[in-house]
Amino acid sequence: MTTSRPGVVSAHQPSYFPWLGLLHKITSSDVYVLMDDVQLADRDYQHRNLFLGRDGIPRFLTLSISKKGLREKVIRELPLANSEWQTDHLNFLSHNYRGAPFYEQTMAAIAPVFQKPYALLIDVLIDSMLIAFDQFGIVTLMLRQSNLDYNRDSRKSDLILALVQASGASRYISGEGARGYMDLAQFKSHGVDVIFQEFSHPMYHQFTTSAAAFVAGMSSVDAMFNLGPQGCRDLLSKLE
């Protein structure tokens, strides 16, 4: 749902085929601010994500980025180191998900990410997120942080407040992890209500050869292979 003046906004760094928790936060908002003007968190899930192997063991698939000047660049400026990741990731997904209920349909949907030539990390991340949006039926408006008018010197809680104000929203939906640094009184004094996301990871049948129990926290691609577009949309709608 989108309106001329959004009621609820979320903000988060882009993620490579994001997990269900991030998709849930985005679909719970009218506008999503993609934070591309901040530095990469190397140990986070921006340029990598977890995918389930046929043995039921999660494995990281990571986008290769150039380390030169990494700490002086923001996410939108980061160049890819090579294109080898495209072949490696495609081979992993083909091998480990072949035979899944929606294998052919999902491979066709995600194939452009492994075929298109890329120079910058941000373009891969946005394309992968838009594919996830399409498969899960997410219609939330996406705005890039780098395109917004706000005080570029803002950091942490001040930065989030500045982005909320730049989006024109009156409410901000935050992940639980931000409770430790957000100045809630500051948001309230500027007429912004803060809502904390309530997310309980849903379970669904996962196609593996030996997994005895559901493995949570995987990339949304896992649900795509196992549920297909309609199943993904139904799964997300039950969480709202």
Do 79 and 121 contact (CB within 8 A), yes or no? yes
Contacts from 160-168 at CB under 8 Å and sequence distance 24+?
Answer: 160/11, 161/186, 161/187, 161/190, 161/192, 163/9, 163/11, 163/33, 163/35, 164/9, 164/11, 164/192, 165/190, 165/192, 166/33, 167/6, 167/9, 167/31, 167/33, 167/143, 168/5, 168/6
Q: Which two tokens stand for residue 119?
A: 């120079």
Closest CA to 162 of 179, 140, 145, 175: 145
Average pLDDT, the chain: 93
Q: What pLDDT sits at residue 4?
A: 45
Taking the C-alpha atoms of residue 193 and residue 22, their distance in angstroms, rounded to an integer, is 20
Q: What pLDDT sits at residue 210?
A: 60
Q: What pLDDT sits at residue 124?
A: 98
In degrees and rounded to multiples of 5, residue 195 shows phi and psi of -115, 130
pTM over 0.75, yes/no: yes
Q: What pLDDT sits at residue 2?
A: 40
Domain ranges of the chain: 8-237
Q: What is the pLDDT of residues 126-181, one digit of tens each?
A: 999 999 999 999 999 999 999 999 999 998 899 999 999 999 999 999 988 888 88
Do 79 and 119 contact (CB within 8 A), yes or no? yes
Tell me: pLDDT of 76 over 70.
Answer: yes
Do 21 and 11 contact (CB within 8 A), yes or no? no
Q: What is the pLDDT of residues 2-59, one digit of tens each?
A: 444 569 999 999 999 999 999 999 999 999 999 999 999 888 999 999 999 998 899 9
Q: What pLDDT sits at residue 178?
A: 84
Q: Which residues contact 1 (CB under 8 A, 6 or more apart)?
A: 30, 139, 140
Amino acid at 55: D
Q: What is the pLDDT of residues 184-196, one digit of tens each?
A: 999 999 999 999 9
Q: What pLDDT sits at residue 212?
A: 67
Q: What pLDDT sits at residue 6?
A: 66
Q: At what angle do helices 20-27 and 220-237 cross, to 10 degrees?
A: 40
